[in-house]
A and B are shown apart, each in its own frame.
Chain A
Amino acid sequence: MCARRLLGSRLARPAAAASALASYAATTAAGLVRGSTPLLRAGLVCLACPLGALQLVAASLSLSVEAGSAALIAAALTLFAGRLFCGWLCPVGPLATEVVAVRKSHDWRLGAVMLASAAASSLLFRLPAFCLICPVGLPFKAVILALYGAHPAWAVILVLAPLLAVALISRRAAYWCGALCPVGVLLGLVGSSSLLRVRLNGRCTGCRACDRACPSGLHPASMSWRERVACTLCLRCLAACPLGSLSLVPHGKARAAELARRKLLWWGDHRI
């Protein structure tokens, strides 16, 4: 119950995202993590932004072993955890969209258009095009710029501008993370059937509290794979459900108990 209250707090996601960026800055300054978006490396473990890797392939028509394996690791993590990065670790989404009233949307067709246009522009102009303006990646780059001699104003601009842009777009046009972000759409497409995803693991009375809580305007209690692409795993629905019937884990205890109960109801009479 305590964990659920923590999930429901408006501060939880901004705090998680801010501390993720802060710990990136600290480990980078300490020399433990090398590189920034779209390619990070800590010791032998490397991690790439899937969209960044895709654009590098499109721009240079080649892929180094390190970048390829880093993208594979990211894909594997996404197959496991879905868009948990979007909901909790992205340096802009959780920070910008918790503080403004977003225009709910999970129509990610435009995000798919952005994704295609990022790949096509990279191919055409021979550079990772979306990386130049990517709101997800710029705050990480700000750390490198701040640490290695750029004017401090750049760091401030590169952190604040994406936050403002995402907040403004989410408020005026449509929820950035749910409908527009090409990085999110790519992660969502890879992880639409991830192991961790919002599932109904108990009784549902149809009160629609989860619908009201969802910033993407989804119905978390039952989602098709197309709708799951837009689910950022912000977990507001988990906190909102009055019965606590929604969970991330596959076949939780409640689900097992419910299945056992149904089996008993169905088979009970015949067995005895």
Chain B
Amino acid sequence: MKRREFLKLLAVAPLVPLAAAAARAGGPPKLVRPPGALVEEEFLARCARCGACIEVCVTGTLEPVSPLLSLAAWGTPMVNPLKAPCEFIHGRCEGILPCVQACPTGALMMVGTEEIKLGSVEWMKENCIAYRRGGGCLVCKEVCPVPNAIEVRGRIPYFNWRACVGCGRCVHACPSQPKALRLTARGARRVRP
């Protein structure tokens, strides 16, 4: 290859840092991660995006992040309670955490059930059947594994985001269309390496 041609081709080299910079722009995304996930910065560095955790997920809640949602995090696992809840508490995965066991890079770490908090639910009362009808429904309270995360006053559920562990059962079970509940990363407890 001639020198001029080589120099012309050299213009391709900044493509990788540019892609990485574009992916990193806007700070770390706020996603609901599987149990035992490291703090977001560290998670993005360690996660190989291999998808092993997603494949072994017992309930089917884990799914790969779409490139449209976040460039830096695409292919990493996120919890989608619309597909299924995460059963790390009072469920099939309690104390086992197959996703954590499958992780080959240590982006997910084994933690005790009581230390896990994936995030918390956000209540959109304008969609809530119980709120609109002045009481009733309460399917969310029925499926909630945490005693004081949902408080019922006058047959209307009120959500305590501090007590909520973010398993997503209520979001999955909510019969309202569109859903009155949304799982967010608010208050998530992440592992420090």
Contact A38 B51 (CB under 8 A): no
Contact B75 A41 (CB under 8 A): no
Which of A52, A117, A148 meets B51, CB within 8 Å? A148
Contact A148 B102 (CB under 8 A): no
Contact A40 B50 (CB under 8 A): yes
**Interface presence of B176 (CB below 8 A):** no
Give the residue name and chain of the A residue nearest to B77 (CB).
Answer: A148
**Smallest beta-carbon distance B55→chain A, Å:** 5
Residue total for A at the interface (Cβ-Cβ under 8 A): 54
Which of A64, A114, A148 meets B13, CB within 8 Å? A114
Contact A70 B104 (CB under 8 A): yes
Chain A residues closer than 8 Å to B114, beta-carbon distance: none
Which of A121, A149, A179 meets B16, CB within 8 Å? A121
Q: Which of A239-272 contact B (CB under 8 A)?
A: none
Which of A39, A133, A147 meets B19, CB within 8 Å? A133
Residue total for B at the interface (Cβ-Cβ under 8 A): 44
Q: A126-B44, A132-B74, A144-B51 are known contacts. Are A174 and B9 too (CB-CB below 8 A)?
A: yes
Chain A residues closer than 8 Å to B49, beta-carbon distance: 36, 38, 128, 131, 141
Task: Provide the B73-105 mask, 1 if CB < 8 A to any CB of A, else 0.
Answer: 011000010010000000000000000001011
**Interface presence of A37 (CB below 8 A):** yes
Chain A residues closer than 8 Å to B64, beta-carbon distance: 141, 144-145, 148, 150
The residues of A with any CB-CB pair to B shorter than 8 Å are 28, 31, 34-41, 46, 52, 56, 59-60, 62, 64, 66-67, 70, 105, 107, 109-110, 113-114, 117-118, 120-122, 124-133, 141, 144-145, 147-151, 154, 173-174, 179-180
Rank and list the top 5 A-B pairs by shortest CB-CB distance, nearest first: A129-B20, A35-B50, A144-B51, A125-B20, A60-B45
The residues of B with any CB-CB pair to A shorter than 8 Å are 1, 6, 9-10, 12-17, 19-21, 23-24, 41-42, 44-46, 48-52, 54-56, 62-64, 66-67, 71-72, 74-75, 80, 83, 102, 104-106, 193
- Listed A/B pairs (10) with beta-carbon separation below 8 Å: A59-B44, A66-B104, A67-B104, A109-B6, A110-B12, A117-B13, A126-B41, A127-B45, A132-B72, A144-B55
